[in-house]
Structure 1
Amino acid sequence: MSDKIEAIIKEVAAKHGIAVGRDDPILILQTINERLMQDSAAAQQETLDRFKEELESIAHRWGEDAKSKAERTLNAALAASKAAMMNGMQEGAKAAAESARREVDEAVGQLAGPIRDGRRIAVMNMIAGGMAVLAAALALLSTL
């Protein structure tokens, strides 16, 4: 501290050509002013530190809020996507079942004609067989 006072005394003497002593009221004011500036700087630093802590706290809360909102948005989008996928799968299954049903109906339709023809042929064969048995029975009766 005495080095500072010595430097001030030299500077005042060099600039203004006035000799100032250590007990001069100007130096007392300089010392008081320096002390007040130090106290003010310390108070300002303390205020800045509190402000910094507050800003960090707010930033942390904002980060947490943003994270929770992002999670809610993501969950809602996931649920909507899942519902859309389920609807798509159900529609796809319905379309596949309908297509399979059409294919089966078409195949049955193609087989219906030959089956009818087969039945008709079987009935004719039974009638012919019955006629053959009747003819054989008549032939047997005529020989007796």
Structure 2
Amino acid sequence: MDDHDQRLKDIIAEVARRHGVALGKDDPILILETFHARMVGDMATAVEKETQKFRQQLEEALSSYNSQVVRTTEAALNAVIEAADKAAREKMMVGVEGQLSEIRGQVGRDIESPINAAIARIIPHLKSAEHVSRLNILAASMSLLAVTASLWMMFHH
């Protein structure tokens, strides 16, 4: 006996216990429960797939960002070392402060670009996950409507 058969037996027993109604294995409400379980399972699989895709792309974006930060930091450090060496040779501390300010601005601009690119790559996946969530809500609403209609039909006929 698989999990699905056991779940149906459990539902039949719970309905009998709570409501005093005996359901048969061919009762339409059990067909609806099977349909609902399948839809929820399919949605869960789709959400997991999108989550994995999003995670992979986020890891790639962060890896790229990390590489860019290392390159930018190395370039900034090299520029600072060169600026400090030049200032020491010329013994002019006034010039060093202007150069450090320029390097700080360049580092800020260099770091901002990869962050904005990573965010731009993430946004479509967030929209896709939102779409899947809306579909899941729609499917759950349809299942609830079908259950309500089945119960109404069962008690009014």
Task: State the TM-score, normalizing by the size of structure 2.
Answer: 0.54
What residue is the counterpart of 2:12 in the other structure?
9
2:53 pairs with one of 47, 50, 56: 50
CA distance in 2, matches of 1:45, 1:38: 10
Match of 1:28 in 2: 31
Distance 2:19 2:26 in 1: 18
Describe the SS at the equivalent of 2:58.
helix
Matched with 1:83 is 86
Give the paired residue count. Answer: 88
* Aligned Cα root-mean-square deviation (Å): 1.0
Aligned residue number for residue 68 of structure 2: 65
Task: Report the Cα offset of residue 87 of structure 1.
Answer: 2.3
Partner SS for 1:18: coil
Mapped partners of 1:64, 1:17: distance in 2 = 66
Higher-Rg structure is 1
Structure 1 residue 58 displacement after superposition: 1.2
Segments of 5+ residues of structure 2 without an aligned counterpart are 92-157
Q: Per the alignment, in what secondary structure is the counterpart of residue 40 of structure 1?
A: helix
Segments ≥4 residues shifted beyond 6 Å:
none
Q: Give 1:45's aligned amino acid.
A: E
* TM-score, normalization by structure 1: 0.59
Aligned positions of 1:79-118 closer than 5 A = 79-88=82-91
Give structure 1 stretches of 5+ with no counterpart: 89-144
